[in-house]
Amino acid sequence: MNNAPQRKPAMVHDDSRPALAGPRRRIELDAAAALRLLGSVLLGRIVFTQHALPTVRPVNHALDAGDIVIRTHEGAALTSHAQQARDPRVVVAYEADAIDSRTHLGWSVVVTGYARLVTDPEDLVRCRALVQPWVEHAMDQAIRIRPDLVTGIMLTADGPSDEA
């Protein structure tokens, strides 16, 4: 008799909805539309380098005056990287999306730009009010990402595909 605890599946997909049939289309979004979509969700992924290798972290965010704002803490890898860099700006990518796992329809936005640690006390207070941490950890730092390159795609069920 096996008395080991039974493991539950980490995630179960609901396959009861029928998948959308028919042609799909890939639509390139302009920067303004892409940023509007990015602002409609609260979770994204920040990509930066750590020890010369790409590193990805899921974070929550807010848009503020065209910048992406995230909260972080003193010991976080990105915070440490920004503090140790000769240039106070660090090149990052930021990605957010909303794609239905069943129909494969939705959108994805990628922003590339410079991230900088927020050091101005008034701006730090503003950033702290905009983004509420999702974890039980002192998130006393904030980072602003200034988008330099914004790309986005919309995946729809209308018409022929726009192949890139």
Helix/strand/coil (H/E/C) assignment for every residue in 34-84:
HHHHHHCCCEEEEEEEECCEEEEEEEEEEEECCEEEEEECCCCHHHHHHHH
pLDDT in tens, 53-111: 898 999 999 999 999 999 986 656 565 555 555 556 789 999 999 999 988 999 999 99
pLDDT tens-digit series, residues 126-148: 999 999 888 777 788 899 999 99
Q: What is the average pLDDT score of the chain?
A: 82
- Per the DSSP assignment, residues forming a β-bridge with 95 are 45, 110
The dihedral of CA 143, 86, 31, 150: what is its sign?
Answer: negative
Please tell me the distance from the alpha carbon of residue 164 to that of residue 149, in angstroms, as a whole number.
18
